Amino acid sequence: MVPVGVYGTVKSIQSGSYTVEQTVAVIEDETGTQTEVNMIQRWPVRIARPYKNKFMPSRPMNSGQRIIDTLFPIAKGGTAAVPGPFGSGKTVVQHQLAKWSDVDIVVYIGCGERGNEMTDVLNEFPELVDPRSGESLMQRTVLIANTSDMPVAAREASIYTGITIAEYFRDMGYDVAVLADSTSRWAEALREMSGRLEEMPGEEGYPAYLASRLAQYYERAGVVACLGQEDRQGSITAIGAVSPPGGDISEPVSQATMRIVKVFWGLDSSLAYARHFPAINWLTSYSLYTDTLKAWYDENFPGFMDNRERAMAILQEEESLNEIVKLVGKDSLSAGDQLTLETAKMLREDFLQQNAFMDEDAYSSYDKQYRLLSMILRYDDLCRAAMARGADVAKLFTIDAREKIGRAKMILPGTYEKAYADIEADMKAEIEAFTEGGTEE
């Protein structure tokens, strides 16, 4: 908690109750100069706070959201963008991250938000229980409220204020997540201020330095060795929502952000209208941290990344098969392709879809995600083996275990291990009954 640039020996330190402006410690440097320290630190918000070293992120940030943790993981100290049209669920995704992410501090920046949205956050967060400590979620949350009716200069400063507060906690050795909602409205404030300053406009009227300002913001994320004699590390994970007009991500803010961040969670309005939440499109989203995090996953959950690769391949194959189905119908497909479509449907509905408003499904641990995905892929393997021995594909889709898999994500923590093993045993027995040796009906 010593201000940046102050070094030396602690000559005195106080105990008890003090205001933030009263002196609580005196520090003397090697020249004998004494510095009085209170509980206020002043720092220009547009300048990044210093640190010893910066490291490559190597641990994932557990969000509890299956589509994020399994398909498009973000590293602690990483950067991510959540672009999407109005009503696609950007704010709910960020609220889920604020509640469930395994970080010590959450800084939520409501940049240019509607007043009623910030009111909802201020009303809801104190009522939510932090799953890590059992205390109110507000105990580890910093909210920066910048509503849309505030001056544009305040909006432009709000983003920097949030990341500077995050750096203050990072310097103490904490893992911090910064959620900016949304950087598009921050960019609009930049555009308005640039126009008033009569600067030369760039694309769509945004200032020519838009991309460099965005880069300066996201570059302040990362895993660092903190200043001071103690050997401690802190991290800042920066996640920014982008609200492109009309949902068109070809506009400058989205494109500049995509060139900087390593994770792209593209929200899709068609998924949101179909009530598939989180409405992250698995065909357009990506994570560039998968190679970096592979060592961590292989050490803690062997086979996790192999399952991920296979699930992604099935979902991509489904997209190409759907084009054929539109032309000639599903019945014209081979049995193997019909099974691919069924497995992809299970992945979408039984794994990727997640209900933020149900306690049983709002959060999913890595182990539960791994076992659930393995069970769906095991179903695919057993069905293909049974089909090779002459089983009827239509009957394989109607087994009782298929319905149990659909409800498996609702099984409570602490009981799912045995329940999943039972489902898998039932599934194996039922599918074996449909092979050539067991189809005499």
Residue pair 279/234 in contact (Cβ under 8 Å)? The answer is no
Give the three-state DSSP class for 290: helix
Q: pLDDT at residue 358 above 70?
A: yes
Q: Percent of the chain scored above 90 by pLDDT?
A: 75
The amino acid present at 179, given as its one-letter code, is L
Q: pLDDT at residue 435 above 80?
A: no
Joined together, the tokens standing for residue 130 give: 């932090």
pTM: 0.91
pLDDT, one tens digit per residue, over 233-290 is 999 999 999 999 888 889 999 999 999 999 999 999 999 999 999 999 999 999 999 9
Residue pair 89/82 in contact (Cβ under 8 Å)? The answer is no
pLDDT in the model for residue 366: 95
- pLDDT interval class at 436 (50, 70, 90): low
* Residue of 124, 277, 111 whose CA lies nearest to 186: 111
* Residue of 54, 41, 38 whose CA lies nearest to 5: 41
- DSSP secondary structure string for all residues of 196-216: HTTPPB-GGG-BTTHHHHHHH
pLDDT, one tens digit per residue, over 97-111 is 988 999 999 999 999
Measured CA angle at 75 (ends 91, 130), to 5 deg: 50
pLDDT, one tens digit per residue, over 209-244 is 999 999 999 999 999 999 887 889 999 999 999 999
Position of tokens 């659909």? 406
Give the three-state DSSP class for 146: strand
CA dist 283 and 120 (Å) reads 32
What's the average model confidence in pLDDT over 380-388?
93
- pLDDT interval class at 292 (50, 70, 90): very high
Q: pLDDT at residue 115 above 50?
A: yes
What's the average model confidence in pLDDT over 164-185?
94
Q: pLDDT at residue 376 above 90?
A: yes
End-to-end CA distance of the chain: 76
Rounded to whole angstroms, what are the CA distances from 44 to 41, 48, 137, 146?
10, 8, 28, 19
The residues, ordered by sequence, that sit 6+ positions from 135 with a Cβ below 8 Å of its Cβ are 129
What's the average model confidence in pLDDT over 51-69?
95
Give the three-state DSSP class for 53: strand
Of the listed ranges 7-21, 253-267, 425-439, the least confidently predicted one is 425-439
Question: Which residues face 237 on adjacent strands?
Answer: 177
pLDDT in the model for residue 437: 53
Q: pLDDT at residue 372 above 90?
A: yes
Give the three-state DSSP class for 436: helix
pLDDT in the model for residue 401: 92
Residue 425 half-sphere exposure, CB side, CA atoms within 13 Å? Answer: 6
Helix residue ranges, H only, 16-67: 66
Q: Percent of the chain scored above 70 by pLDDT?
A: 99
- DSSP secondary structure string for all residues of 74-139: -BTT-EEEEE--TTSSHHHHHHHHHHH-S-SEEEEEEEEE-HHHHHHHHHHGGGSBPTTTSSBGGG
CA dist 353 and 365 (Å) reads 15
pLDDT in the model for residue 126: 85
CA dist 76 and 122 (Å) reads 26
pLDDT in the model for residue 132: 78
Residue pair 100/70 in contact (Cβ under 8 Å)? The answer is no
